[in-house]
Structure 1
Amino acid sequence: MPASGPGEIEFVATEGGARLCVRGEWTLAHHGTLAERVRALSAQAGAGEAATVDVDGLAALDTAGARLLHALLGPERIAALLADETALPRERRALLKAVADALAEPPVPAVGTQGSALGDVLADTGEAMVAFWRHLAGITGFIGLILETALRVAVQPRRWRMTALVANLERTGLDAVPIIALLTFLIGAVVAFLGATVLQNFGASIFTVDLVAYSFLREFGVLLTAIIVAGRTASSFTAQIGSMRANEEIDAIRVLGLDPVELLVLPRVYALLIALPMLTFVAMVSGLVGGMLVSATTLDISPVLFLSRIQDNVGLIHFWVGMAKAPIFAFLIAVIGCLEGFRVQGSAQSVGEHTTSAVVQSIFVVIVVDAIAALFCMEMGW
């Protein structure tokens, strides 16, 4: 029978080989006494050569006692003791194994070679390219998913969500008219003032009208509108869908058998496709009005002369070039905003990070696509 009372350890040398006998209670209550006995026995010559361990007299064992046994016996004899299923009850073997695993020494990390500055730069560049490629593949795949869903829903009018479309159209289009009109009006006035300041020195003040018209019809109208919408609407899309993702509402939609792309993404994409061209037209008109006001007050160019100059010297192609960019920008902004919302991991911090990422990506993509379109139109002579 196991002996009760404080734990005892005894090293016995017999003709059959060395044996270490463990008896009594190896618990936290007797930790001080047991620690002294373990240190004393470890100092004895030959204690480390004990081939077998006798634990038949072990009455109780907890993590403190298991820690002392591990220090006394060492990992190899503890492993041999655990391998013997008859030596200890199953629960004590499990406890001893857990303590042994926790005390196992971590592997020594291999000493790496010292890297060079060029190698570090190339490694960082490679990682950035891989991340960019994966992100581009994700956007491309999401665009394909949106187009597939749109084609599938287009032939089923009963699945069109007109209420969601109108609500998103109001938020993305109608509510943005004041800020778009005000900012483009002020920028139109600034462009006209700068043009007048420079061109007046050459006696070519009348060309201020052409400068304002060309810049707002081709570039500034759609570009400024897209940048404002990217900061205002893309962030809104990401925050809305990201909050639903964090609250597990997206999972609930899937459990109900509904398609989140059809329910959440398509109404937002359609609304922005309708709203951005209209906002672009508002921006063009507001910019021209701002330039007209500065021309009338600074250059004595009347509004009638201003409009007549535009009609005679500025072709309609410039208006259509600017308007043609609007649906492209709208689609890209909506896709990026919705995709970043679906990438939210489930915390408020993740919502903020992806909202910021959506705005930065949208503005970056808009500027890059606008630059490519400008080069293409220049080569085509449009």
Structure 2
Amino acid sequence: MNPNTFQYSESFAREMDAKDSLAHFRSRFHFPKVNGQEAIYFCGNSLGLQPKTVKDHLEKELSNWADLAVDGHFHGEDAWYHVRKKSKPALAEILGAHEHEVVAMNNLSVNLHLLMVSFYRPTKQRYKIIVEAGAFPSDQYMLETQIKFHGLDPADTLVEISPRPGEHTLRTEDILAEIHKQGDSLAMVNMAGIQYYTGQLFDMQAITQAAHEVGAVAGFDLAHAAGNALLKLHDWDVDFATWCSYKYLNSGPGNVSGIFAHERYAERPDLPRFAGWWGHDEGERFRMEKGFVPMYGADGWQLANSNVLALAAHQASLDIFQEAGMENLRAKSEKLTAFLEFLIEQISGKSGVLEIITPKNPAERGCQLSLLIHRGGKAVFDEFYKHGVVGDWRNPNVIRLAPTPLYNSFLDVFRFAKILEQSLEKFA
């Protein structure tokens, strides 16, 4: 949608909501309250809202547990032995993958470590890893300790790419140039899909292609991309990826992660991995014999049996994603984020108080906008929280806002803008 057609008015926001074919999904979520009023919730980049159907999904599994106990593994609807399969169709659609390339399991940091065991195989010549500077701490710690595990020095092994002086985000051309510069010394590119601080969506297809051209593998942390950006992991030829389900996938605090492993690794028993019995050939699993034989596809990276209650909450949200469709969600997201951007620019004008550091090009961002606030700082953030806006503060002076298409409206964005305007007048 052309931003030139936007208007800073409540009537325009209501008109946009009336045209929104996804507007009815808002009623499928619980909203928190701030000072007794329903919040304007722009924090799906940290924790998504709870679908109202989560309770029913959990109660169903609690009933199965109560009525069947151990027999629930093999009897009743959605027997637990195969429960991981239920989430695969939705995950495949969200990640742009085949069902055998994805599986829900563990937590994100655990999965990053497990995938590094298989895909980071340093040699004397080829050992370096490229990551964006300022990656999320879990990624930083994981990479540092994995490098040390191989007896290498992070200072020499880890190549961190920073924006050019005076810029906030990375240029794709600079990422690709660094990949080719490292060349035969590069073992892996391991970056975020969307950078958590700036909200930049990286060109994963171009990065993967460049990595492969120099003989390296490419993997991505999709914590801020899954359920937010349109992903085509299989077609992009990505080697591996992992994500969490509690942000845009709305599956509950700390809930289950998932992995993607490209189908070229589907039958690779020779690939090093840390194994567990749930990744072993399920046709032979209960023979309880030594000699690990990995299952086909991503399932071969599983360790322990599935967390049934976690997957039940996860499924409540995945059902909604399948009903809404990622293409539809992305189309609304671009409009919603552009409207927020327009209103912020209208309010800030040429004052220099606010600076949006997230890329302006919709193809280079998800629904998150990161704002540098040059005057007023956290006082402005705290003020608009008092008035019902739930966003996210990151030191030293960044506010992250994520209007999420499943449950946020254009009227939410307008109401936020009015509160922001008042907060800036008071503190900036």
TM-score of the aligned structures, taking structure 1 as reference length: 0.18
From the CA coordinates, give the structure whose radius of gyration is larger: 1
Q: Which has the higher helix share?
A: 1
Query: In proportion to residue count, which structure has more strand?
Result: 2
Q: Which has the higher contact order (CA 8 A, sep 6+)?
A: 2
TM-score normalised per structure 2: 0.16
